[in-house]
Structure 1
Amino acid sequence: MRGAALAAAGLLYLKVWLPVTHIHVPCIFHELTGLYCPGCGITRVVLSLLSLDVVQAFRYNPLVFTLIPLYTMYGIAHKRKRKRIGNAIMAVMLILTLAFGLLRNLPTFHYLAPTELL
């Protein structure tokens, strides 16, 4: 029941509050440093997915599309008490997240920044 209420509140925030008020929660890391954190663009990913625009969602933050299957695998390993496999998957997710956060701020990998399609 709590999950459904949380999902409904999130949907209300994304589909009603944001379009009407244009008031969003800013990324503190980006505000302080001017750099993109690994999570920058995730709200826009969700909004794009709600509009069924998978290409634009991927453009905002491709890391999400890598982490979702990995997190699912981690959940399965954890549920089956496969601690070693779960720890390995968690390590891979951490390394990917840190590498993505670093690379998306380098000029060579500018296409990883959460921007509109060209």
Structure 2
Amino acid sequence: MAALSALLVSYHLTGHGLPCLFRALTGYLCPGCGMTRAAVAILGEDFAKAWQYTPLSLTLLPVFAFYLLYIYKTGRYIRKGEEDFKLGESVFLLLIAICFAIARNL
């Protein structure tokens, strides 16, 4: 979470996000291309601009909440060995990202 905060502050101050390695190598937009700009727009309550940067930013807000829960569960599994960690949750998120990447580059 600290890294995300640092990225958003850096983007707000400089206007530059992280370069996309996937786009540099393939020339195609990855599922996350535009997400830094969209996150800044969402924080500024400009949802229309966030949608322009990438529709995934708004459609995945509920999934992002789920993902944060998944990160929490993963950490708890690593630290304490508790058994509520499910591989299917990560596969679901991966499938969403792959489908979006294919659709946005058609």
Give the TM-score taking structure 2 as reference length.
0.68
Q: Is residue 13 from structure 1 mapped to residue 13 from structure 2 by the alignment?
A: no
Identical residues among aligned pairs (%): 31
Distance 2:33 2:14 in 1: 19
Worse overlay, 64-73 or 31-40: 64-73
2:66 equivalent among 43, 67, 70: 70
Instruction: Report the structure number with the largest CA radius of gyration.
Output: 1
Give 2:83's aligned amino acid. K
Alignment of 1:29-108 (within 5 A): 29-65=22-58, 66=60, 67-75=63-71, 77-78=73-74, 79=76, 81-83=83-85, 86-106=86-106
Q: Secondary structure at the match of 1:92?
A: helix
Shift of 1:77: 4.9
Distance 2:42 2:21 in 1: 24
Shift of 1:39: 1.0
Give the TM-score taking structure 1 as reference length.
0.63
Give 2:52's aligned amino acid. R
Q: In 1, are the aligned partners of 2:42 and 2:50 still within 8 Å (CA)?
A: yes
Task: Report which structure shows greater RCO (CA 8 Å, sep ≥6).
Answer: 1
Q: Which runs of 5+ in 2 are unaligned?
A: 77-81
Shift of 1:81: 3.0
Q: Spell out, residue by residue over 1:20-76, the C-alpha distance to the aligned partner (whole angstroms, 9 max, x if none).
A: xxx553323223322111111111112212321123213323334423033034246
Shift of 1:82: 1.4
Change in CA separation of 1:103 and 1:6 when aligned onto 2, cut-off 3 Å: closer
Shift of 1:10: 3.2
